């Protein structure tokens, strides 16, 4: 795997950045009346505007050379062809196949996907039309999805973005904190509740703990025989699901070649399909495939995922911006920042290359965000006048689904105002407390509407952006070994939260002290 870091293109770009360090975003607009036209890109109702970044034509051209040096096109083609590009785990990366069953060369993979999609479609329709019933003969009007990470964030995002309010009510339980699940169960009727366990390994501690508690809640009310009718498993370990008490007809696969944070397009997306309809969910898959096709077949200089990735490379590695604020100006996208946060930071939060060598440049930024005007009244003060510059990505929707047009006009006006204020700042204000320096880079993504297709395109855009950045940095975006250490340590500590015997020398003194304090306070009467 090639890396662009330290290449001739990389060094040339760094030298050019040093020569033009004093040029501001305002200067770039003053010099070029056609800047928006030349630095914005549209594809089937999705517009990407990078004109408010400190990038000129020379930077753009050098960035494309950086991508060419990293051989992004070959890496892209290797992923789509099914090569084992996840080298540290010796796995294919084929989440894109879930969105394009027609061109899969592996016959076995294609058949597995086709069969599963047919089962998911049939199951979704049987829940939504009420023909599949629970142990007491009632249709399911309440869904609880139990998962965490990729088995939680993606389905929750899509459900809350697209659910029209005419399907079953879908809840999401992820946190092992009992307050999360207990609140949901208290509000639910076991006779009308379907429970989905989404865990690739079927060993995820948080998910299993919640699943066992939900099973006890259900069987205490309806009897042990009800579990097989009210529980569904989405997993790569069907035997473990069967041992839990889930029948074969209610077990849907996750394949080895689907990473957790890229699994929305698999059976992991079932709660979103149940909430929105199978047709809506399929349209989202079609939208993601449309972006896949664009990514595969468009020259680098006009390729939306590549362009978005290169802007990020410029801001992170050449402008030294450590964080990325993601701000959707649409309440339906409340969960988008958390979804992209996991997608980016778990994929590219790495410090070594494919070869295991230390990486000399920064990789994934700190990703955070909030919706629209809520963000303005939370952290925009820091964005505008803080001592550190960071990058921002705004997401806007042109046509809302509500009937309050004046609200939407004001919302979009706020998005545009914040974008301009960050880029241009204030001029002539002699009061240092009121002065905003501007020159804060930001990107705007506009969707014509928040349709299932365009949402699919948006999410695939970010998936491919992150992949391209990983290729340029020379890292594997598809493993996540750093997640495992904390899980391992927790397994060692859990017995000692209840065991009153000593544990001196087993843990760090701080951990031991906190554990002793916890056990003392935990034992106090309520």
Residues 278-331 have pLDDT tens digits of 999 999 999 999 999 999 999 999 999 999 999 999 999 999 999 999 999 999
The reported pLDDT for the residue numbered 520 is: 85
Question: Is the Cβ–Cβ distance between 59 and 3 less than 8 Å?
Answer: no
The reported pLDDT for the residue numbered 194 is: 98
Quick check: 500 pLDDT over 60?
no
Q: pLDDT-based confidence at 421, cuts 50/70/90?
A: very high
The two tokens of residue 422 are 């960050």
Chain centre to alpha carbon of residue 21: 33
The reported pLDDT for the residue numbered 505 is: 65
The reported pLDDT for the residue numbered 76 is: 96
Quick check: 200 pLDDT over 90?
yes
Quick check: 167 pLDDT over 90?
no
The reported pLDDT for the residue numbered 110 is: 84
Mean pLDDT of all residues in 505-517:
84
Spatial CA neighbour of 344 closest among 369, 320, 361, 319:
369
Q: pLDDT-based confidence at 104, cuts 50/70/90?
A: low
Q: Exposure of 327 by Cβ count < 10 A (0-12 exposed, 13-18 middle, 19+ buried)?
A: buried
CA atoms within 13 A on the CB side of 172: 22
The two tokens of residue 70 are 């990293």
Spatial CA neighbour of 32 closest among 48, 62, 55:
55
Rounded CA separation 444/412 (Å): 12
Residue 194 φ/ψ, nearest 5 degrees: -105, 135
Rounded CA separation 210/212 (Å): 6
If one compares 103 and 312, the residue with the highest pLDDT of the two is 312
Quick check: 62 pLDDT over 90?
yes
Rounded CA separation 47/53 (Å): 15
Rounded CA separation 474/426 (Å): 40
The reported pLDDT for the residue numbered 107 is: 64
Mean pLDDT of all residues in 338-352:
97
Q: Which residue has the tokens 């009346």?
A: 33
Mean pLDDT of all residues in 76-100:
93
First to last CA, the chain: 58
Quick check: 176 pLDDT over 70?
yes
Least confident of 180-194, 246-260, 479-493: 479-493
Mean pLDDT of all residues in 510-514:
88
Beta-sheet pairing, 231-235 with 193-198 = parallel
The reported pLDDT for the residue numbered 437 is: 93
Active site members: 346, 377, 487
Rounded CA separation 518/97 (Å): 48
Mean pLDDT of all residues in 159-163:
93
Quick check: 1 pLDDT over 70?
no
The reported pLDDT for the residue numbered 105 is: 60
Q: Exposure of 209 by Cβ count < 10 A (0-12 exposed, 13-18 middle, 19+ buried)?
A: middle
Rounded CA separation 158/270 (Å): 11
Sheet holding 323-328, edge to edge: 40-43, 46-49, 442-449, 391-399, 323-328, 366-369
Quick check: 501 pLDDT over 80?
no
Share of the chain above pLDDT 70, in %: 97
Residue 214 φ/ψ, nearest 5 degrees: -65, -40
Question: Is the Cβ–Cβ distance between 408 and 400 less than 8 Å?
Answer: yes
Least confident of 100-114, 132-146, 215-229, 359-373: 100-114
Q: pLDDT-based confidence at 381, cuts 50/70/90?
A: very high
* Model pLDDT for residues 212-270, shown as the tens digit of each residue: 999 999 999 999 999 999 999 999 999 999 999 999 999 999 999 999 999 999 999 99
Question: Is the Cβ–Cβ distance between 334 and 160 less than 8 Å?
Answer: yes
The two tokens of residue 281 are 């969910």
Q: Which residue has the tokens 């096109």?
A: 73
Rounded CA separation 364/376 (Å): 24
The reported pLDDT for the residue numbered 503 is: 60
The two tokens of residue 258 are 């689907």
Q: Which residues are CB-neighbours of 200 under 8 A, at least 6 positions away?
A: 151, 235, 236, 237, 254, 258, 260, 263
């Amino acid at each position: 795997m090639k890396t662009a870091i330290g290449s001739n293109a990389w060094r040339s770009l760094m030298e050019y950045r040093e020569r033009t360090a004093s040029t501001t975003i305002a200067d770039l607009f003053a010099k070029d009346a056609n800047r928006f036209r030349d630095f914005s890109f549209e594809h089937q109702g999705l517009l990407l505007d990078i004109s408010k970044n400190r990038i000129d034509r020379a930077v753009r051209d050098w960035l494309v050379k950086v991508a060419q040096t990293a051989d992004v096109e070959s890496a892209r083609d290797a992923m789509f062809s099914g090569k084992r590009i996840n080298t540290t785990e010796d796995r294919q990366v084929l989440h894109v196949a879930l969105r394009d069953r027609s061109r899969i060369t592996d016959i076995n993979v294609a058949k597995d996907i086709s069969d599963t999609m047919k089962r998911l479609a049939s199951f979704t329709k049987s829940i939504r039309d009420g023909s599949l019933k629970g142990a007491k003969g009632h249709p399911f009007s309440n869904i609880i999805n139990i998962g965490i990470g990729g088995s939680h964030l993606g389905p929750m995002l899509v459900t809350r973005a697209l659910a029209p309010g005419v399907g079953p009510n879908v809840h999401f339980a992820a946190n092992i904190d009992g307050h999360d699940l207990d609140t949901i169960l208290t509000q639910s009727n076991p006779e009308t509740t379907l429970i989905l366990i989404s865990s690739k390994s079927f060993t995820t501690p948080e998910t299993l703990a919640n699943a066992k508690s939900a099973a006890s809640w259900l069987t205490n009310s309806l009897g042990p025989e009800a579990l097989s009718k009210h529980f569904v498993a989405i997993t790569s370990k069907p035997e473990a699901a069967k041992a839990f008490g889930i029948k074969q007809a209610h077990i849907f696969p996750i394949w080895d070649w689907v990473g957790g944070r890229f699994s929305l397009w698999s059976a992991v997306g079932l709660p979103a399909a149940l909430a929105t309809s199978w047709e809506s969910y399929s349209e989202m898959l079609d939208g993601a495939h449309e972006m896949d096709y664009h990514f595969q077949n468009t020259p680098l200089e006009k390729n939306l995922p590549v362009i978005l990735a290169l802007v990020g490379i410029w801001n992170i590695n050449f402008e030294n911006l450590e964080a990325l604020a993601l701000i959707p100006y649409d309440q339906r996208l409340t969960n988008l920042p958390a979804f992209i946060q996991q997608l980016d930071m778990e994929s590219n939060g790495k410090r070594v290359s494919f070869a295991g060598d230390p990486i000399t440049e920064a990789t994934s930024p700190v990703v955070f965000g909030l919706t629209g005007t809520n963000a303005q009244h939370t952290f925009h003060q820091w964005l505008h006048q803080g001592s550190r510059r960071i990058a921002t990505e705004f997401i806007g929707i042109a046509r809302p689904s509500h009937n309050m047009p004046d609200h939407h006009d004001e919302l979009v006006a706020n998005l545009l105002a914040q974008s301009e204020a960050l880029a241009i700042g204030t001029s002539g204000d002699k009061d240092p407390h009121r002065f905003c320096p501007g020159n804060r880079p930001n990107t705007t993504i506009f969707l014509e509407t928040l349709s299932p297709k365009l949402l699919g395109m948006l999410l695939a855009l970010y998936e491919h952006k992150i992949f391209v950045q990983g290729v340029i940095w020379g890292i594997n975006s598809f493993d996540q070994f750093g997640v495992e250490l904390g899980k391992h340590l927790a397994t060692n500590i859990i017995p000692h939260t209840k065991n009153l015997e000593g544990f001196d020398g087993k843990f760090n003194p701080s951990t031991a002290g906190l554990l002793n304090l916890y056990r003392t306070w935990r034992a106090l009467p309520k």
